[in-house]
Amino acid sequence: MMYDPLWYMGFFVLYTFFILVLGRHGFDKSDSIKDYLIANRSLGLVSSVATFGATWFSAASMLGFTGLVYGFGYSTVLFTAVCWFLGATFLVLMVDRLYQFDVVTVPEFFRVRYDSLLLQVVSGITLVVTYILYIAIQVEGFGIVVSKLLDVPYSVGIFLVFLFILYTTFGGLHSVTRTDILNFALILGGSVIAACLVLNEVGGITDLHALLLEHPRGQDFFNPFPHGWSTFWAFLSSFFALGLGLAANPQYLVRIWSARSRETAYSMIGISIVLLSVVYLSLAVVGAGAAVLVPEEALQSYDGVFPYIISTHILSPLKGLILISIVAASISTANSQLLLLSGSVSYDILAALSRHPVQEQKLLNYNRLLIFLLVIFSLLLSLNRLPALVEFSGQIWGMVAAAFFFPVFGGLFYSKASKRGAVAAFCGGLVVYVLSYFLIPTGVMRFFHPALPAVLVSGILFFTVKGRFRHEAKANH
């Protein structure tokens, strides 16, 4: 349609306007680091659901999940969304125990629970590495869509995300939450509208599945166990990487701490899962429709199929709203992770290692400076296009699962957990993960993910290594 660029620009301008209005909300509300990072545990149900759901649903989900359904069929749901939802059950189990700790970050939880400054600093450094990489994924997702929306080069698209992320994160969690209400509404609405328009294009859900049966992959598209007996190992690997990675992911634990009560936190998780299920089902329909409408040779990668089908096969002016929903998914996850990332550097590394207490205002200034520097670094990383988004994010969450799951979950439920066991589990899990990543052949990794041996080794170390460090034992005599 000749008016597409005008529609795209109109939706983009409207989105920018609302982000500017909503994002300034927290600029003058945060006067302490606790207020800045977890909104002083004051978020109500609507805000909590919006920020939990918007943080969960990233560009990797929106672009990568749809692309995997397009390329591999409905079994994608089993290996991704089901694993994520199973991981969310661990979050439900942790709510009561998490509320017993008056902390603002997961690394600080380690220091309080295990009396270990070492673990606080090491885990803070680990989050810096993993979250910079994941923010780069969101930047790439933004660049892909904005280059399509505004017909600009990819490099220009990712520069624009720099401005959005910077502005929405500077005000702390209050700003992030306000913009997340808009972003999650766009994600939910955009996904459902996209599914409806794609179904209209192919003639409805019945016609879609009839056409899929005539597809070259035919029955394989519907097969939930495409790898035979190997499917079990593929699912187990996905669960260890994506499921346990989500359960131990600090960005969700912080959302629990930011809710105003335990009841709010429980409701937040439950309602969010229901709404996210609607989004995933909608995107599965889009991916299936794309398998019928879009030939593989038209794509550079599966990750580009969602914006491609919307821009080339859908005639409705609402296509602009749908593409903006992908932008919303990128922004809402990136600013949440950037906030947590800056907190890890300023609070869990710099302030923790300082010989003297750091004033609250100075900590807030450190955070804003770090936000500026860290988002630039992620921007530079994303200039080189990353591998397939879901697979790449799976590596990041696998690393989080290997290092964080047992020190977090075990620390909450195992009263005999020791400092040495927690440090050994964290560091051992990381080391085994990195070694497995380089030693396991690429073709095997889909069935035997590095997270599988790494999490198991981390668990063994957590429960078998006992006692204190030698210098601490001497100090007590």
Q: So what's the pLDDT on residue 468?
A: 58
Q: For 125-135, what is the mean pLDDT?
A: 87
Residue % of the chain over a pLDDT of 90: 49
Provide, for the chain, the percentages of residues in helix, strand and coil under a 3-state DSSP scheme, each rounded to the nearest 5.
Answer: 80, 0, 20
- 143-157 pLDDT, tens per residue? 777 776 677 777 777
- 375-418 pLDDT, tens per residue? 788 777 777 765 555 566 778 889 999 999 999 999 999 999 99
Question: What SS3 class is residue 187?
Answer: helix
Alpha carbons 212 and 195: distance in angstroms, whole number: 16
Taking the alpha carbons at both ends of the chain, their separation in whole angstroms is 80
Cα–Cα distances in Å, from 284 out to 69, 75, 407, 437?
6, 10, 35, 29
With beta carbons less than 8 A apart as the criterion, state whether 19 and 167 touch.
Answer: yes
Most confident of 222-226, 291-295, 297-301, 303-307: 291-295
Alpha carbons 189 and 144: distance in angstroms, whole number: 20
Cα–Cα distances in Å, from 66 out to 180, 306, 378?
22, 7, 24
Q: For 243-268, what is the mean pLDDT?
A: 96
Q: So what's the pLDDT on residue 1?
A: 47
- Which domains are seen in the chain, by residue range? 4-475 (1.20.1730.10)
In this structure, of 5-19, 341-355, 371-385, the range with the lowest mean pLDDT score is: 371-385
- Which residue(s) pair with 43 in the sheet? 259
Q: pLDDT grade, residue 2 (50/70/90)?
A: very low
- 72-118 pLDDT, tens per residue? 899 999 999 999 999 999 999 999 999 999 999 999 999 999 999 99
Q: pLDDT grade, residue 61 (50/70/90)?
A: confident
With beta carbons less than 8 A apart as the criterion, state whether 215 and 292 touch.
Answer: yes
Higher pLDDT, 473 or 289: 289
Q: Cβ of 335: how many Cβ atoms within 10 Å?
A: 31
Residue 65 is classified by DSSP as I
If we measure between CA atoms, which residue out of 49, 54, 20, 278 comes closest to residue 186? 54
Instruction: Give phi and psi for 259, each to the nearest 5.
Output: -70, 145
pTM of the complete model: 0.90
